[in-house]
Copies of this chain bind each other. A is one copy, B any other.
Amino acid sequence: MSIQAVAAKAGVSVATVSRAFNFPDKVTRSTRELVERVARELDYVPNASARTLRTQRSRALGVVLPTLLNPTFAECLQGIARAAIAGGYAIIPVTTGYQLDEEERAVHLLLAGNVDGLILVVSNPSTSAALARLRGTGTPYVLAYNRHPEHPCVTVDGEAAVADAVARLVLHGHRRIAMVSGTLAASDRAQQRYRGYRKGMADAGLKAPPLIEVPFVESAVDALAGVLQVPGRPTALVCSNDLLAIRSIRAAHLGGLAVPDDLSVIGFDGIALGEDLTPALTTIAQPNDDIGRRSVELLIQAMAGGTALQADASLLLPYFFRDGESCAAARDNAND
């Protein structure tokens, strides 16, 4: 079903059909209605590939994400999708599973697909080969969640946020505060958050115990069990993301510790599900939806201006401390 067929049946030229669709006011009202009617009768759908080939723009944005199994990114994608539709763009999401070679493959795929722009969450902007390649092509892009002085980024100040969280815990009487994180090397976010943790501890004049690094989420519960059993165990855990926080709570439970009575747990991300849990998750909430939305808006705006997005267009969005039930004041006798 091509434009040709519609033109033939309507008794007009293909150019007229094209105009009727793309510039409705450049054709007579009657012609437009005729074309629309015929098109509907024929179930005509304009061919996106042909249009893209001809116009050299796809009106599609590529989105590169680590995974959709973490609700953080699912929520962000939701925001991206909404904003993209509003701006007349389709989106093509691709997940990388936190793997560098998948990042490259994703960028390659999307570039071949003629996307007009890219939104990506990379593991580390400084070392991402995919990002370097992308930059070379001149295709507009923006990073979400990442933070780097040489790239346009939309994120929150993760370092300040975690320092903040530590300060709150200290205010609640906690002294033995540990941090739980995924592999540091795998993500610049994790690194920032860890820096914030150390800063928060230093500011409070506390000695920071070693980072509890959990390489595989599957083993998180086991890994934590050990740490929570020793004498002088932490009374509070700052987790680098909400999924880790949820698993920390489980580990505590399995170890016979009640949350928050025996152990306070604070997460990072602000996934919606956290509010429905018992105990409701205390967390540093990022505006995941907004991070997506603003990324798209930045990108679309830049593409309209024809200018590639610069690093100084970066946005630092506010984060919020979401009070839940997984944190409480330290008990005086928390020396068990």
On whether the beta carbons of A69 and B58 are closer than 8 Å, the reply is: no
State which of A110-118, A174-182, A185-193, A311-319 sits at the interface with chain B: A110-118
Contact among B68, B75, B78 with A77 in the assembled complex (CB-CB below 8 Å): B68
Please classify the interface of chain A as helix (H, G, I), strand (E, B), loop, or mixed, using the class held by over half of its residues.
helix
**A100 touches B (CB below 8 Å):** no
**A304 touches B (CB below 8 Å):** no
State whether A68 and B74 are in contact (beta carbons under 8 Å apart), knowing that A46-B112, A81-B95, A109-B90 are contacts in the complex.
yes
What residues of chain B lie closer than 8 Å to A246, measured between beta carbons?
Answer: 273, 276-277
What separation, in Å, do the CA atoms of A96 and B75 have in the docked complex? 14
**A48 touches B (CB below 8 Å):** yes
Count this chain's copies in the assembly.
2
Contact among B68, B75, B221 with A276 in the assembled complex (CB-CB below 8 Å): B221
Q: In the complex, which residue of chain B has the Cβ closest to the Cβ of A78? A: B69
On whether the beta carbons of B276 and A273 are closer than 8 Å, the reply is: no
Q: In the complex, which residue of chain B has the Cβ closest to the Cβ of A272? A: B69
Q: Which of A47, A112, A276 has the most CB of B within 10 A?
A: A276
**A195 touches B (CB below 8 Å):** no
The interface size bin for chain A is 35 or more
What residues of chain B lie closer than 8 Å to A137, measured between beta carbons?
Answer: 43
Q: In the complex, which residue of chain B has the Cβ closest to the Cβ of A108? A: B45
What residues of chain B lie closer than 8 Å to A95, measured between beta carbons?
Answer: 78, 81
Report A94-112 residues with CB < 8 Å from chain B CB: 95, 108-109, 111-112
What residues of chain B lie closer than 8 Å to A253, measured between beta carbons?
Answer: 278
Report the minimum CB–CB distance from A324 to chain B (whole Å). 11
What residues of chain B lie closer than 8 Å to A243, measured between beta carbons?
Answer: 273, 276
What mask results when residues 318 to 329 of chain A are scored 1 for a CB within 8 Å of chain B, else 0? 000000000000
**A93 touches B (CB below 8 Å):** yes
What residues of chain B lie closer than 8 Å to A67, measured between beta carbons?
Answer: 78
On whether the beta carbons of A49 and B52 are closer than 8 Å, the reply is: yes
Q: In the complex, which residue of chain B has the Cβ closest to the Cβ of A275? A: B250
**A230 touches B (CB below 8 Å):** no
What residues of chain B lie closer than 8 Å to A247, measured between beta carbons?
Answer: 276
What are 29 A-B pairs with beta-carbon distances under 8 A? A43-B133, A43-B136, A47-B53, A48-B49, A48-B114, A49-B49, A49-B50, A49-B58, A49-B114, A50-B53, A68-B68, A68-B74, A68-B78, A69-B71, A69-B74, A69-B75, A71-B71, A74-B74, A78-B95, A81-B95, A90-B92, A90-B109, A243-B276, A246-B273, A246-B277, A247-B276, A250-B276, A253-B278, A277-B277
